[in-house]
Chains A and B, each alone.
Chain A
């Protein structure tokens, strides 16, 4: 019994992290069919900025965390301006490699400036544990799914209900027509990358107290989150979140019942199998091919 509850609680906790990071992929993909492959490094940036501003500069969380997100947003704008746009306007797919390279660059820049030692970002929410069905949980672990689901819903609303959101939808449906209708397509695309990086920053701040802060902490998250985004179908925020939970649960269940040696073999094997059957992901819809 403990095995099952542990697997469920751990899986949902991890799944929320993956989903939250994957939302960043979904946003930019929806708007311009491109993603920032340095998403894992954006998570790291959030954690590192949070650490530096609170622990080294001594700022209170209420000031430091918004500043962190501003920093991440600016980095997102920079990524779009330097690593995506120059290739996109030439119709080249080299942005793919450019963002991967950008991530490696950022990891190494942080290594030199932040230092090479893993550090700990404290949070009052990892000070105590709550008992749920016989397993211990840090309050921080509960906070992550709450924030993640909240943000996914907020994004859904942003896209459907607000003027900017509808403009974004218009851009994704037909960029040319949107531009002719007076929508600033370029700004919309930049904005989506800023938002995407900010979501990664939120994930970084939330995950850091459970992990440790160091320059390559985001790499594995970035890869798993991309898998989740693909699995979720890239088109809807709620689909990506659901895929995140599913991925986390499968990962934890496999580790618990088959043992950790099988985790990646089974999880990625399943992922390939699912995509073979449903090439657009579990919750995705086929993109309209424009002729």
Chain B
């Protein structure tokens, strides 16, 4: 048993000092910032996506604070790295809420990390807005009071969209699935099976692979032998590249409709020229360097020289819009109280984001702001993501 020691003099002094600091702050009460917590993978394989989210939020905060902030207070971002690890993500979320006292959380880049944070967000009644992870159960989590919102793609809807694409564009009758072996892969296995069932179609097999697998040829050969006439691919950028390399080696030229994994990095460098044959979902693309948000990006981050330097534009746009929506909700709520912000999320009107203008984007039945109409099918050309031409 841990015996609680009586308060030492040092503790009391420290507490007194902390109190002194705390009471000193309200002197500048008007300027006291509203803190927004970010939990995302800022290192590791998904780091480039984490950087995109950070950039999107930063630009949105600049705009919001430039316009006078929210409730007359500036918004401040506090970031924590989850290293794509669900345990670390949950610890970070807890620390942000309990110690930093953030008004809301943004983040969860990887579906497993988001799923780890969801129950905590609902229990502690802190709004949690996802700008990236697409796992269906993140927002459809069954909580009575659901504090989880999303401005991003949703697996179930993406799966429907890529199925529709393979069927109408390539006349696929028996597509196969090559999925990463983690909860994200599983979420899409369900979504794709549902989409195929709805059309009365069969699949040529469901194959899984690990993120550091060198050779995916055995899995792909199984699909090919089973008569796959199209492939669904769900994996992050490096493992997706391994699939393309293995296809190349087999000399199997098959239509590939992919989730947005390839967008998270230098896909064509990793996969070679055949990477351009992969068609994948995006929610937003920069097609023109004179786009106002792109101009602001370049001003803020001089290392961005061309459109090719912002490959996950989706992450920037989702995070930008998510931050604007959250700020609008806090303003509507008139406080930083979690339940009040949540109620206000359902009343948002006319927020002009970069993806679209949001009029009542959320309802208790649908906590996802983006739908199938907001998806763009895209491909890499010369290292840059561009929308597919029909």
B225 CB contacts on chain A under 8 angstroms? 2-3
Complex: A137 Cα to B250 Cα, angstroms: 8
Contact of B222 among A3, A111, A211 (CB under 8 A): A3
What total count of A-B pairs have CB within 8 Å?
A: 99
Size of the A side of the interface (Cβ < 8 Å), in residues, is: 40
| Interface membership of A260, Cβ < 8 A | yes
B147 CB to closest chain A CB (Å) equals 30
Interface residues on B, range: 20 to 34
Q: Which of A29-37, A112-120, A160-168 contacts B (4 or more CB under 8 A)?
A: A112-120
Complex: A212 Cα to B43 Cα, angstroms: 16
Contact of B212 among A9, A120, A129, A216 (CB under 8 A): A216
A14 CB contacts on chain B under 8 angstroms? 214-215
| Interface membership of B181, Cβ < 8 A | yes
Cβ–Cβ contact A207 & B45, under 8 A: no
B87 CB to closest chain A CB (Å) equals 15
| Interface membership of A183, Cβ < 8 A | no
- Of B215, B224, B241, B249, which is in contact with the most chain A CB atoms at under 10 Å from its CB? B215
Cβ–Cβ contact A116 & B210, under 8 A: no
| Residues in B173-229 with C-beta less than 8 Å from chain A | 181, 205, 207-210, 212, 214-215, 217-219, 221-222, 224-225
Residue ID in chain A nearest B236 by CB atoms: A118
Q: Which of A217-225, A237-245, A271-279 contacts B (4 or more CB under 8 A)?
A: A217-225
Complex: A259 Cα to B248 Cα, angstroms: 21
Q: Which of B26-34, B72-80, B127-135, B264-272 contacts A (4 or more CB under 8 A)?
A: B264-272
Cβ–Cβ contact B221 & A138, under 8 A: no
B249 CB contacts on chain A under 8 angstroms? 129, 136-138
Residue ID in chain B nearest A13 by CB atoms: B215
| Interface membership of B44, Cβ < 8 A | yes
Complex: A6 Cα to B224 Cα, angstroms: 12
Complex: A14 Cα to B215 Cα, angstroms: 8
| Interface membership of A173, Cβ < 8 A | no
Contact A256 B208, CB 8 Å, known A14-B214, A119-B266: no
A184 CB to closest chain B CB (Å) equals 39
B245 CB contacts on chain A under 8 angstroms? 126, 210
Cβ–Cβ contact A6 & B217, under 8 A: yes
A164 CB to closest chain B CB (Å) equals 34
**Given A212-B238, A220-B212, A260-B208, 16 other A-B residues pairs in contact with their CB atoms under 8 A:** A9-B217, A10-B218, A116-B45, A118-B241, A120-B241, A120-B270, A126-B245, A135-B221, A136-B250, A136-B251, A215-B44, A217-B212, A220-B210, A252-B215, A259-B207, A260-B218
Q: Top 7 nearest A-B pairs by Cβ distance?
A: A116-B47, A136-B249, A118-B238, A255-B218, A256-B218, A220-B212, A6-B221
23 A-B residue pairings within 8 Å (CB atoms): A2-B221, A3-B225, A6-B250, A111-B44, A112-B43, A116-B45, A118-B265, A118-B270, A119-B269, A129-B248, A129-B249, A135-B221, A136-B250, A137-B249, A207-B214, A211-B212, A211-B242, A212-B238, A215-B44, A216-B44, A216-B212, A219-B212, A252-B218
